[in-house]
Amino acid sequence: MHAGPGRWDSLRARLLLLVLFAMLPSVALLAYSVAEQHRQAAQRAEHETLMLVQAIAREQALHLATTRLTLRALAKLPALRAPGGACDSLLASLLSAHPYYTNLAAATPEGDVYCSGLPFSSAVNAGDHAFFRRTLETQAFSAGDYQVGRITGLPAVNFGYPILDSDGELAGVAFAALDLEWVKELTLRAQLPRGAVLLMIDPAGGVIARIGHDGRWLTRGDPAAPLRRALATDREGGTVRVMAEDGTTRLHAYAPFYQGASGTSYVSVGVPAVEALAVARGDLLRNLGLLLLVASLAIFAAWFGSEVFLLRRVRALGEASRRLAQGDLKARSGLQRGGDELGCLAAAFDDMAGSLQRVNRALRTLSAGNRALVRATDEHELLQDICRIVVEVGGYRCAWVCHARHTEADKVAVEVWAAAGPAATTAPPIDAQTLAGLDAGAPLVVKRCGQGHTEVPDGCRALAVLPLRADGESLGALVICAASPDCFDAEALELLEETAGDLAYGIGNLRARSERRQAQDLIERMAYHDTLTGLPNQAAMEQHLRTSLGREGGAARGAMLMVDLERFREINEALGFHQGDQLLKAAAQRLSEAVPGGAMVARLRGDEFAVLLSPADADTASSVAQGIREALDRPFPLGGLSLRINAVIGIALAPEHGDEPARLGRHADVAVRQAKRSRRPFAVYDPSADEDGPQRLALASDLRHAIDAGALDLYYQPKIDLRQNALCGVEALVRWRHPVRGMVSPDEFVSLAEHTGLIKPLTLWVLEQALGQAAAWRSAGVSIPIAVNLSAWNLRDRNLLPKIEELFARWGAGPGWLDLEITESAMMEDPEGAVGTLRALSALGIGLFIDDFGTGYSSLSYLTKLPVNAVKIDKSFVMDMLSNPQSAAVVHSTIGLAHDLQIAVVAEGVEDAIVSERLANWGCDVGQGYFYGRPAPAEELVVAKGRITRCQ
Contact residues for Ca ion, defined by CB under 5 A: 789, 821, 851-852
Nearer to ligand C2E by Cβ, of 686 and 912: the residue is: 912
Contacting ligand C2E (CB under 6 A), which of 464, 851, 863, 892? 851
Nearer to Ca ion by Cβ, of 202 and 908: the residue is: 908
Strands 742-744 and 786-790, how do they pair?
A: unpaired
Please state the closest distance from residue 497 (CB atom) to ligand C2E, in A.
Answer: 50
Nearer to ligand C2E by Cβ, of 63 and 875: the residue is: 875
| Alpha carbons 767 and 732: distance in angstroms, whole number | 9
Nearer to ligand C2E by Cβ, of 239 and 717: the residue is: 717
The side-by-side arrangement of strands in the sheet containing 444-446 is: 412-420, 398-406, 473-482, 462-470, 444-446
Selected range binding ligand C2E among 74-82, 700-708, 775-783, 925-933, rule: CB under 6 A: 925-933
Contacting ligand C2E (CB under 6 A), which of 268, 789, 894, 916? 789
* CA distance readout (Å), 790 to 196, 732, 763, 823: 148, 11, 7, 8
| Alpha carbons 764 and 114: distance in angstroms, whole number | 195
User: Taking CB within 5 to 8 Å according to partner kind, which of ligand C2E, Ca ion, none is near residue 333?
Assistant: none
Nearer to ligand C2E by Cβ, of 185 and 708: the residue is: 708
Nearer to ligand C2E by Cβ, of 614 and 916: the residue is: 916
| Alpha carbons 52 and 200: distance in angstroms, whole number | 14
| Alpha carbons 704 and 781: distance in angstroms, whole number | 35
Please state the closest distance from residue 887 (CB atom) to Ca ion, in A.
Answer: 15
Q: Which backbone phi and psi does 759 adopt, to 5 degrees? A: -65, -30
Q: Is the peptide bond before 655 cis (omega within 30 degrees of 0)?
A: yes
Q: Sign of the C-alpha dihedral, residues 375, 376, 381, 384?
A: positive
751-780 positions binding ligand C2E, by CB under 6 A = 763, 766
Nearer to Ca ion by Cβ, of 542 and 908: the residue is: 908
Torsion angle (degrees, nearest 10) of CA 55, 56, 59, 63: -160
Nearer to ligand C2E by Cβ, of 622 and 887: the residue is: 887
Nearest residue to ligand C2E, scored by beta-carbon proximity:
929
67-126 positions binding ligand C2E, by CB under 6 A = none
The DSSP code sequence of 824-844 is: HHHHHHSHHHHHHHHHHHHHT
Nearer to Ca ion by Cβ, of 607 and 821: the residue is: 821
873-912 positions binding ligand C2E, by CB under 6 A = 875, 908-911
User: Taking CB within 5 to 8 Å according to partner kind, which of Ca ion, ligand C2E, none is near residue 733?
Assistant: ligand C2E
CB half-sphere exposure, 510, CA atoms < 13 A: 18
CB atoms near residue 242 (< 10 Å): 20
| Spatial CB neighbours of 720, under 8 Å, sequence gap ≥ 6 | 726, 727, 728, 926, 927, 928, 932
| Alpha carbons 290 and 323: distance in angstroms, whole number | 47
Selected range binding ligand C2E among 51-59, 501-509, 597-605, 928-936, rule: CB under 6 A: 928-936
Please tell me whether residue 938 binds ligand C2E under the rule CB under 6 A.
no
Please state the closest distance from residue 436 (CB atom) to ligand C2E, in A.
Answer: 55
| Alpha carbons 656 and 662: distance in angstroms, whole number | 14
Q: Which value, in Å, is the radius of gyration of the alpha carbons in the chain?
A: 72
| Alpha carbons 903 and 849: distance in angstroms, whole number | 10
Contacting ligand C2E (CB under 6 A), which of 9, 246, 552, 747? 747
Please state the closest distance from residue 778 (CB atom) to ligand C2E, in A.
Answer: 21
- Buried/exposed code over 439-449 (b: 16+ C-beta within 10 A; e: otherwise): eeeebbbbbeb
| Alpha carbons 426 and 400: distance in angstroms, whole number | 10
Please state the closest distance from residue 823 (CB atom) to ligand C2E, in A.
Answer: 7
Nearer to ligand C2E by Cβ, of 565 and 786: the residue is: 786
| Spatial CB neighbours of 222, under 8 Å, sequence gap ≥ 6 | 205, 206, 207, 228
Please state the closest distance from residue 788 (CB atom) to ligand C2E, in A.
Answer: 6
| Alpha carbons 465 and 444: distance in angstroms, whole number | 5
Nearer to ligand C2E by Cβ, of 489 and 754: the residue is: 754
Nearest residue to Ca ion, scored by beta-carbon proximity:
821
Please state the closest distance from residue 901 (CB atom) to Ca ion, in A.
Answer: 20
Please tell me whether residue 750 binds ligand C2E under the rule CB under 6 A.
yes
Nearer to ligand C2E by Cβ, of 46 and 851: the residue is: 851
Selected range binding ligand C2E among 184-192, 334-342, 386-394, 730-738, rule: CB under 6 A: 730-738
Please tell me whether residue 729 binds ligand C2E under the rule CB under 6 A.
no
Please tell me whether residue 852 binds ligand C2E under the rule CB under 6 A.
yes
Please state the closest distance from residue 373 (CB atom) to ligand C2E, in A.
Answer: 42
709-728 positions binding ligand C2E, by CB under 6 A = 717
| Alpha carbons 788 and 763: distance in angstroms, whole number | 8
Please tell me whether residue 255 binds ligand C2E under the rule CB under 6 A.
no
Contact 406/412 with Cβ under 8 angstroms? yes
Residue ranges in contact with ligand C2E by CB under 6 A: 717, 732-734, 746-747, 750, 763, 766, 789, 791, 821, 851-852, 875, 908-911, 928-930, 935
